Amino acid sequence: MPGKSCSSSPGRPARVLIVDDHPIVREGLAHLLNMHEELQVCCTASSAEEALQGMVCEPDMAIVDLSLHKDSGLDLVRTLRQHHPELAILVLSMHDESLFAERALRAGANGYLMKLEATEHIMSAIQEVLAGNIYLSAAMHGRLARALTASRNATAGSVASLSEREFEVLHLIGLGFGTREIARKLNRSIKTVEAHQANIKEKLDIHSGKALIRFAIQWIENQ
């Protein structure tokens, strides 16, 4: 998981690696991003092998499709996260976000954007992910919020009292991330994440760390 914000160093644009097996998508996305002075496409790739070779350009961010001919984009995300823990990763895919977004986050991605929404939201997604935040569509956030609200172990009032960051922490706990991993993924200290966990337990009337984990996992499984 990322250990710090992945924004570029002062004085240079953020370097971006694009991984997609369709040339027109790579070229079109590269053209779009290079129109913004704060971004620079340093390499493009059509396969997992090319993507790993492209890491020599030391990108700050990778934009990865899930379908790469014979390769799995999720496996590539896992490999990139394992070997490049500070890399910001945004999945850009044609696959339904409601089915694949959580899998992408589990694999190590920082955000998920469907290609159907890319033109309107791509820059917002890139900015959020480069800032060290998690990006999901408003619809996906709403789905998660509704699922959490419906959880039998918490009242609607207590759920509504969770801050945005507390909600993200609860979500990541349910995905199986530990405190240290959450701290890295959210670019926060371990003490800060522990404070968020304490606040969540208080607001949801949960009395132990194990109970919080059980609650979060059950919530994810019920979605």
Tell me, yes or no, whether 192 lies in a domain.
Answer: yes
Domain boundary residue among 99, 116, 136?
Answer: 136
- CA–CA–CA angle 115, 219, 172 (5° rounding): 60
Asked if residue 86 and residue 74 are part of one domain, the reply reads yes
Number of domains in the chain: 2
Q: Residue 62's closest CA among 6, 135, 136, 138? A: 6
Tell me, yes or no, whether 181 lies in a domain.
Answer: yes
Residue 31 sits in which domain range? 14-136
Asked if residue 129 and residue 162 are part of one domain, the reply reads no
Look up the pTM and report it. 0.63
156/76: higher pLDDT: 76
Which pLDDT does position 2 carry in this prediction? 38
Summarize pLDDT for 147-184 with one digit per residue, the tens: 555 554 444 446 567 787 887 888 888 888 889 988 88
Domain boundary residue among 136, 160, 187?
Answer: 136
Q: Give backbone dihedrals phi and psi of 137, rounded to 5 degrees, phi first.
A: -65, 160
Which pLDDT does position 50 carry in this prediction? 94
Tell me, yes or no, whether 5 lies in a domain.
Answer: no
Tell me, yes or no, whether 8 lies in a domain.
Answer: no
Give the sign of the dihedral formed by CA 130, CA 134, CA 140, CA 146.
negative
What does the mean pLDDT of the chain come to? Answer: 83
CB 223 within 8 A of CB 147: yes
